[in-house]
Amino acid sequence: MKEQKFSTAIRSNMDLILKEQISLSEKIDYTQVATFIPYIYSADRLFLTAAGRSGLALKAAAMRLMHFGLKVFVVGEITTPAIGPGDLLIVASGSGTTASILTTAEKGIKAGATVLAFSTTLAAPLAKLASHTIILPAAQKEDHGKSISVQYAGSLFEQGLWLLTDAIFQTMWEEKPVPAEELWKRHANLE
């Protein structure tokens, strides 16, 4: 009996999440997002970082960019080299105030890298540090008013970040169509 109740609730919540993502998609300024691709193409190397679930979304983006043949590093991994001029640091923070992300952005700038940010607002310190900020008009993790999203914490931002970076990758792949079999050769094979 409980399984049926859960089944119905899960389906309802999946529909809710998808509706919120469609609504978010309709509010994104895709002209602003499109500038992301030239930044990627002009960078010597890409470094990505975010905290928590946003960090997981950017790790997924790092994997796709690596599949595309770019030099990609996840900040904090033991094999990540020093960042410098010509490099692009891609950071995400819904609030734009996450201390560790701000510190990383400051260090990247000091080392001569360009910083590109994903956030929910241009008013945050992160947007002021970044050369360019892509806005995902989603609820921040501490926005409990449910006026933007009824999901918990920053879920809408984190999901949107994952989907948007996948859409950026898909766009790059369509522009420079490398056969999937070639991309797959770069996929991890020690699993």
Residues with a catalytic annotation lie at 158
* Pair 175, 153: CB distance under 8 Å: no
CA pair distance 85, 114, nearest whole angstrom: 8
Q: Which tokens is 146 given?
A: 């449910």
Q: CA-CA distance, 71 to 62, in Å (whole number)?
A: 9
Q: Residue 70 corresponds to which amino acid?
A: L
Helices (H), the chain: 2-27, 30-34, 36-42, 52-67, 99-110, 125-129, 155-175, 180-184
Burial 50-60 (b: 16+ CB within 10 A, else e): bbebbbebbeb
